[in-house]
Amino acid sequence: MRFWQEKQSLMWKHQYETVIITPWGKNALRVRAAKYPKFTENDWALEQPVEETAAGVSVEINGNESASITNGRLRIQVDFAGIMTFYRDGEKILKEYHRDYDQPSCKESRCLKMRGREYKAIIGGDYALKIRFESNDGEKIYGMGQYQQSYLDLKGCTLELAQRNSQVSVPFAVSSMGYGFLWNHPGVGNVIFGKNYTEWEAKAAKQIDYWVTVDDNPAKIVENYTEVTGRAPMIPDGLLGLWQCKLRYRTQEEVLSVARKYQELGIHIDVIVIDFFHWTRQGDWKFDKEYWPDPKAMCDELHAMGTKVVVSVWPSVDKKSENFEELSNRGLLIQTERGSNQTYDFQGDCLEIDVTNPEARAYLWEKCKQNYYDYGIDMFWLDNAEPDYGVYDFDNYRYMLGNALEVSNVYPKLYAKTFYDGIKSEGREKEILHLIRCGWAGIQKYGALLWSGDVPSTFESLRDQLSAGLNMGLAGIPWWTTDIGGFMTDDVEDEGFRELLLRWFEFAVFSPILRMHGDRGPHDIPPLSDKEWGGGSLYTGHSNELWSYGEEAFGIMKKQWELRLSLKPYIEGLMKEASETGAPLLRTMFYEFPEDKHCWELEDQYMFGDQYLVAPVLQMGQREREVYLPVGKWKNITDGQTYEGGQTVSCKAPIECIPVFEKLEK
């Protein structure tokens, strides 16, 4: 073992492996290890400039026996076998899992031949990599993006590190032991937060790369993390009220008629969204003129109402698209490694544009600017952003940056960057927001509003979205929303669905964005055209406006919308805080009350910012539920009754509202 110091970094080499540990942000260290002669120049999620300073940084080397590096409150100790142990203020928080017999004096010495860092050569390629850490009994783990499950605490879970519709891999974990861990790989893999050990795996990579920070509480850990990965900008004005959307408005007149009716009812919609297949073919990226004859006039009328316009963009390109030949000839599409040259097969034989290629990003923006933005479209809905594959055989797809196994998870981030850079080049940097179905570490800095994807219209799914939104916020992404009522509705007339819709709406009032959307079945509405392509060829769902579900439901949602409007100044303050510190709007109870042990056990209530405690109703027919109030004074916003905290109270939950408490004492 040979240790040495290079600038502020600690390095060592043993046999074919080289390791470097570098100070990287506040109370944080970045660890890289490789069997190649040099490390790559890819910083991946760690793109923000980091000040190089000697303050709080020290490197100590004890010959060939041991070494350590300290940055602020985080220290890594390395022994003679290269095993790393991590300390927060002198207390051990992590240690590499080592079960080999090369340390006869160590109690972990075993004949299992398992090491903390594992390299498995890929024939003709790089390495499949694993790192392992000792498990900590009693530890809780959060973050990691969005997974469709009810578990908020991820300890004991196995998570696929891959992007799918409604699954968003953002590999940053927050531990109850006071550290945050970023797996800085954009490739496909897995993480197992096991009871016996933790294991991170990359299916294909050139080097191990991860980043660790420590601090007092989850809020400060997220702040440290977003300092090095980026923070959301301040959200543009006029977006915190109601967003109206459905699958799908088929014509320009349908959009305008909905907006006009809202205006007649005295309900202002901040945004109206034009969904998919308004186009001719996938990859044309333009309106079908038969059904959208004058997009500029449409935008002008909507803007006069004070309503902004969003249009859906997909990355898929039909082989019959007018742009396919040029994109193919210029090498701007994702390739297959074997078999049929196809990546997506919904309503066409498609490949998807390769946004890891800067030329492809420029091409896509130019088409969308010419055919949408120049007409007055304000924002873009970047759907299918994973990208959505016909089959998730990641090893069969290749990007400019490499095989999908190695780089695929970064795709949605670069998809968002495409439109961020484009709108910024137009001088409208303060007006950037993209609704997007997927993301990766650092996407928040590109103005990305993630939504939870095409989820079922069930109470079980609503429960899953609560955990998804809370963990997404802990992964550094504060702009998050859902399809109110879920996306996939079998029968729009079902009374059970209407109850779900109302409960979902009441939850959404206390979320970053209030957005109506969904595919309201059954699909019994005839298409506008019998052609096999174009904007009139595809099905549409039933109506999804506030008035679509009867007078009682309309009255409840209108009152809840008015509550939302009263909260707008407060939400604007939360958005400002998110842009300054990375703080999420949806916050776990322990985020606000880290010293309260009971708050670490709560998974079905949350804080909306630091002032409102929200207890959503997550079961059909439920009209009462228990709510835990931390120490302090709390007021039920429905009946005005005040309570002393430090207790669990039983609250009424009529169909008109869910329990929400305002914190009266700071």
Catalytic residue ranges? 383, 386, 454
3-state SS string over 515-550? EECCEECCCCCCCCCCCCCCCCCCCCCCCCCHHHHC
Work out whether the CA dihedral 570, 572, 576, 579 comes out positive or negative: positive
User: CB–CB of 628/661 below 8 Å?
Assistant: no
3 state DSSP class of 637: coil
Contact by Cβ (8 Å): 371, 323: no
Q: Between 218-229 and 551-581, two packed helices, what is the crossing angle to 10 degrees?
A: 70
Strand (E) or helix (H) holding 368? helix 358-371
The residue ranges of DSSP E strands in 35-90, in sequence order, are 57-62, 66-71, 74-78, 84-88
Q: Which amino acid, 235?
A: I
In a 13 Å sphere around the CA of 236, the CA atoms on its Cβ side amount to 20
* Residue 132, CB-side half-sphere exposure with 13 Å CA sphere: 15
User: Which DSSP letter does residue 218 get?
Assistant: H
**Residue 642 and residue 339: Cα distance in Å, rounded?**
66
* Interatomic CA distance for residues 633 and 643, integer angstroms: 6
User: Cα angle vertex 636, ends 633, 637, to 5°?
Assistant: 120
Q: How many helices (H) and strands (E) does the chain have?
A: 11, 41
Give alpha helix (H) positions in 148-248. Answer: 218-229
Please provide the DSSP assignment of 313-330 as one string: E--EEETTSTTHHHHHHT
Instruction: Please compute, for residue 596, the number of CA atoms within 13 A of its CA located in the half-sphere on the CB side.
Output: 18
**In b/e form, how buried is each residue of 63-72, taking b as 16+ CB within 10 angstroms?**
eeebbbbbbb
Q: Under 8 Å CB-to-CB from 374, ≥6 apart: which residues?
A: none
Q: Which amino acid is at 608?
A: F
Torsion angle of the four alpha carbons 310, 316, 320, 322, in this order, in degrees rounded to the nearest 10: 50
Q: What is the number of residues in the chain?
A: 666
Q: What is the per-residue burial (b if ≥16 Cβ within 10 Å, else e) of 635-657?
A: ebbbeeeebebeeebebebebeb
Q: Spell out a b/e string for 197-224, using b for 16 or more CB atoms within 10 Å of the CB, else e.
A: bbbbbbbbbbbbbbbbbbbebbbbbbbb
Residue 90 phi, psi dihedral angles, 5° rounding: 85, -5
3-state secondary structure 557-622: HHHHHHHHHHHHHHHHHHHHHHHHHCCCCEECHHHHCCCCHHHHHCCCCEEECCCEEECCCCCCCC
Please list the helix, strand and coil fractions of the chain in percent, rounded to the nearest 5, in that order: 25, 30, 45
Burial of 589 (0-12, 13-18, 19+ CB in 10 A): buried
Q: Are the CB atoms for 255 and 226 separated by under 8 Å?
A: no
